[in-house]
């Protein structure tokens, strides 16, 4: 982290009460292009007063926003999806510059967020309550889904478009106001999306943005006016956020780290299985929470390892803007961490079938590149199996049977995603039924649901019952009020006092 006094590169503003505000902090961090180390901007670590001002702005805006008609709220997201489509190329280019992923993948990042915006324009029916007439004589009961108030989103570096779009559109469409805390590593595309949201008609104060790290996050977890926190990021930080926010009486949903197993049966279509597996392992340089980071080769599928390695070796590594197969890691620190873990794997006895450590990318000598790397002979006690590597490293575990594969996956603490490659319907059905993982792909390597459904990672990958986007997040961002009503149309109870609790 650097402290700067000069005015260039540009400073990323805060958004408070509809105004772009320059932070008064003395702590700034560089936003760096991972392929070149060029400093693109500087992001502030907001002060406590600025965080308080953002929450106060959201709290004040809630007063009228909660009463704004559902249709009016929805139409903003109808407009936002159009603006995002029009700006797709610019958004993707910004994302690639600050995050490193390939342009094609950056478009995918924006697109998966856009799908949630489209859904946010459509969630009127999900906000409907229930009604039962005559629950007692002349008594009716109905429920309404009321917005909570100020909701907060804390987002990670790896999907700087999609994940903010998982959060604020749905919260706001449900009648809440919002304070967003983007990743301090790459907030630029997120800020462009926020600008588009204002342009689409989000009123002042309904959406606010603060930047920072631990102190800002803690202040948001503690703030008495914050009612709910959505977090996506690492397990250590998510666990901390969940505990701290829950202790302060807030709703919290924390989507966290993963170790996703792709199980390959020998009856799978070899070519398709290997291609899908490699895309899921090395796409986005392995920096996806749903990356297939462990391949479990079952029985005779072990023999496919040389072909898997040859295909991985053929993947092109380069700067995201040149649209290779694999871009750089997000930071020098991330690269050092990944290299350290590869070394640790070798020391622990894994076989380095493909070594991507020495990869050179012409014209980008300073990029944080690591080439596709495969470690075989991995066992569950090794660090490369126990830890989320979050880099282009695929570890191979070999087992004899599908039962062994299922037991292995179920013994792993994480439950974000898993996939099975097979041509057997019976094997697929058994895998689906017996596997204790929240998102399952059958011949689909990264089974991230579209927003008709919700993101349903489980066990160690998630804290909180309800997932982001879809029907579940409407429940998360609203509270049920139950109204029991009676309108007297006769004189039956006049003059009588009822001291019993029964309604008849």
Cα 279 from Cα 272, distance rounded (Å) = 11
Considering beta carbons, is residue 341 or 361 the nearer one to ligand NAD? 341
Please state the closest distance from residue 273 (CB atom) to ligand NAD, in A. 24
Q: What are the b/e assignments for 362-399, b being 16+ CB within 10 Å?
A: eebeebbbbbbbbbbbbeeebebbeebbbbbbbbbbbb
Considering beta carbons, is residue 200 or 226 the nearer one to ligand NAD? 226
Q: Give the tokens for residue 368.
A: 């944080």
Please state the closest distance from residue 455 (CB atom) to ligand NAD, in A. 6
Considering beta carbons, is residue 107 or 155 the nearer one to ligand NAD? 155
Considering beta carbons, is residue 42 or 73 the nearer one to ligand NAD? 42
Instruction: Work out the burial of residue 23: count CB atoms within 10 Å of its CB; fewer than 13 is exposed, 13-18 middle, 19 or more buried.
Output: buried
Chain positions contacting ligand NAD, by CB under 6 A: 154-159, 181, 183-184, 213-214, 217, 232-234, 237, 240, 255-258, 289, 388, 390, 416, 455, 457, 461
Please state the closest distance from residue 471 (CB atom) to ligand NAD, in A. 17
Q: Please, are residues 31 and 40 in contact by the beta-carbon 8 Å criterion?
A: yes
Q: What stretch of H or E contains 131?
A: strand 131-136
Please state the closest distance from residue 187 (CB atom) to ligand NAD, in A. 9
Torsions phi, psi for 454 (to 5 deg): -120, 165
Cα 77 from Cα 392, distance rounded (Å) = 35
Cα 384 from Cα 339, distance rounded (Å) = 11
Considering beta carbons, is residue 57 or 260 the nearer one to ligand NAD? 260
- Which residues, in sequence order, are bridge partners of residue 351? 376
Please state the closest distance from residue 231 (CB atom) to ligand NAD, in A. 7
Q: Angle between the 88-99 and 70-86 helix axes, to the nearest 10 degrees?
A: 70
Q: Is 84 helix (H, G, I), strand (E, B) or coil?
A: helix
Q: What stretch of H or E contains 178?
A: strand 177-181
Catalytic member of 151, 221, 254, 289: 289
Considering beta carbons, is residue 331 or 423 the nearer one to ligand NAD? 331
Active site residue 363: no
Cα 264 from Cα 146, distance rounded (Å) = 46
Please state the closest distance from residue 131 (CB atom) to ligand NAD, in A. 35
Q: What residues are annotated to the active site?
A: 289
């Amino acid at each position: 982290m650097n402290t700067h006094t000069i005015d260039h590169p540009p400073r990323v503003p805060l958004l408070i009460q509809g105004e772009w505000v320059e932070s008064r902090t003395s702590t700034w961090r560089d936003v760096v292009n991972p392929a070149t180390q060029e400093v693109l901007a500087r992001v502030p670590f907001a002060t406590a007063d600025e965080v308080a001002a953002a929450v106060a702005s959201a709290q004040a805006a809630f007063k009228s926003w909660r009463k704004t008609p559902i249709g009016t709220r929805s139409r903003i997201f109808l407009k936002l999806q159009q603006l995002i489509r029009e700006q797709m190329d610019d958004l993707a280019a910004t994302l690639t510059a600050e995050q490193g992923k390939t342009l094609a993948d950056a478009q995918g990042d924006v697109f998966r967020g856009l799908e949630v915006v489209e859904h946010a324009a459509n969630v009127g029916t999900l906000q409907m309550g229930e009604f039962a007439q005559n629950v007692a004589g002349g008594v009716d009961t109905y429920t309404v889904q009321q917005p909570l108030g100020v909701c907060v989103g804390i987002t990670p570096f790896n999907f700087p478009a999609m994940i903010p779009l998982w959060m604020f559109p749905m919260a706001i469409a449900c009648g809440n106001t919002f304070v967003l805390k983007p990743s301090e590593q790459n907030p630029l595309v997120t800020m462009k999306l926020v600008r588009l949201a204002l342009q689409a008609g989000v009123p002042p104060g309904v959406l606010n943005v603060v930047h920072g790290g631990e102190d800002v996050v803690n202040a948001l977890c503690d703030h008495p006016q914050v009612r709910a926190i959505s977090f996506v990021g690492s397990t250590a930080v998510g666990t901390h956020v969940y505990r701290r926010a829950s202790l302060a009486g807030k709703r919290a949903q924390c989507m966290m780290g993963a170790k996703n197993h792709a199980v390959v049966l020998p009856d799978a279509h070899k070519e398709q299985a290997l291609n899908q597996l490699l895309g899921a392992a090395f796409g986005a340089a392995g920096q996806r929470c749903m990356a297939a980071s462990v391949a479990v080769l079952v029985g005779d599928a072990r023999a496919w390892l040389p072909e898997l390695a040859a295909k991985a070796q053929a993947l092109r590594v380069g700067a995201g803007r040149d649209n290779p197969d694999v871009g750089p890691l997000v930071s020098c620190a991330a690269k050092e961490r990944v290299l350290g873990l590869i070394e640790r794997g070798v020391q622990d006895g894994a076989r380095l079938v493909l070594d991507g450590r020495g990869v050179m990318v012409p014209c980008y000598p300073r990029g944080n590149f690591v080439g596709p790397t495969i470690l075989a002979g991995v066992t569950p006690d090794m660090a490369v199996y126990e830890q989320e590597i979050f880099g282009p490293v695929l570890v191979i575990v070999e087992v004899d049977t599908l039962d062994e594969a299922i037991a292995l996956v179920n013994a792993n603490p994480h439950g974000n995603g898993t996939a099975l490659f097979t041509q057997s319907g019976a094997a697929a059905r058994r895998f689906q039924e017996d596997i204790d993982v929240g998102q399952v792909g059958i011949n689909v390597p990264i089974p991230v649901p579209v927003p008709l459904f919700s993101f349903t990672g489980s066990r160690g990958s998630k804290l909180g019952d309800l997932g982001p986007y879809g029907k579940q997040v409407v429940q998360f961002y609203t509270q049920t009020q139950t109204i029991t009503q009676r309108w007297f149309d006769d004189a039956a109870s006049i003059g009588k006092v009822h001291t019993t609790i029964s309604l008849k």
